[in-house]
Each structure stands twice: as C-alpha cells, then as structure tokens.
C-alpha cells in the first residue's frame, strides 16, 4: 500500500511517495523547493524559492496552481481524475498527464524544479505506478 521513492541528482533532489491514497513529494534543491501533495481529492503545493512566486487556488475537488519564475512558467491543473503539468522553459515545453494510477515525474536541470530532469539534448521520463510500486 505504500512505497518510498528516492531520487538523488547532482542538484540534490529527494522524491518521497507514500501510500496509494496520499502522496507526499519533497524536492530539495539549491534554491529550496518543497512540494506537498496529499490525498487524491485535495492537493497542497508549497513552493519556496528566492526567485519565484506562488499562486494557489484550492478547492475540495480541484486545484489550479500557476507558478511563474524567471526560468519559465508552470501551469498545473489538478482534478480528482487526472493532473496536467505543463512546464515551459527556454529549451521547450513538457506536457505531463498524471492520474491516480500513474504519475510521471520530471526534474529540470540547473535551476528548475518540477519532477523533470532535462538536459540540453534529452529528457528523462520516470513513470511511477501508485498501484505497482518499483522502488
């Protein structure tokens, strides 16, 4: 019913996913970002950086998060069925569809921080099933 995923990169990222109904994502980088997602019906995202700002709209059924920084814009639409993450940087756009069954995490390099690991040439996609956990 619960798994723990830990991913460490050169900029120091830690992802922790626990249980199938409640998820906690913790990302620690040099600029200090913390993402918290709890339950499938309610989402709480907390981003703390020195260069970004936070726009948070939270309801009991869906959440809309818009984060604008100097490196790009992150548009996040979260419902009880699926989540759409759009990260736009200077190198391109990445579209991610996340449901309660499967999640795609992508961590951006250098200064970025949103489940996306991208280099100037390629992207690494990590698909994590909440039901079938591969730790």
**Which pLDDT score is estimated for 112?**
34
Is the distance from CB of 65 to CB of 45 less than 8 angstroms? yes
> How many degrees, rounded to 5, is the angle at CA 61 between CA 60 and CA 62?
110
This model's pTM is above 0.85: no
Place of tokens 């059924």: 61
Residues of the chain with pLDDT under 50: 1-135
User: Rounded distance, CA 94 to CA 74, Å?
Assistant: 10
């Amino acid at each position: 019913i619960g798994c723990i995923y830990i991913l460490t990169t050169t900029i120091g990222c830690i992802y922790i996913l626990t249980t199938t109904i409640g998820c906690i994502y913790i990302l620690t980088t040099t600029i200090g970002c913390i993402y918290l997602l709890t339950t499938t019906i309610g989402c709480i995202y907390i981003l703390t950086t020195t260069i970004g700002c936070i726009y948070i709209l939270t309801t009991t059924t869906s959440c809309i998060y818009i984060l604008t920084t100097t490196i790009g814009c992150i548009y996040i639409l979260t419902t009880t069925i699926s989540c759409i993450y759009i990260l736009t940087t200077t190198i391109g756009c990445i579209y991610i569809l996340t449901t309660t069954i499967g999640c795609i995490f992508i961590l951006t390099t250098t200064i970025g921080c949103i489940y996306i690991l991208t280099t100037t040439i390629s992207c690494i996609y990590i698909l994590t099933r909440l039901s079938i956990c591969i730790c």
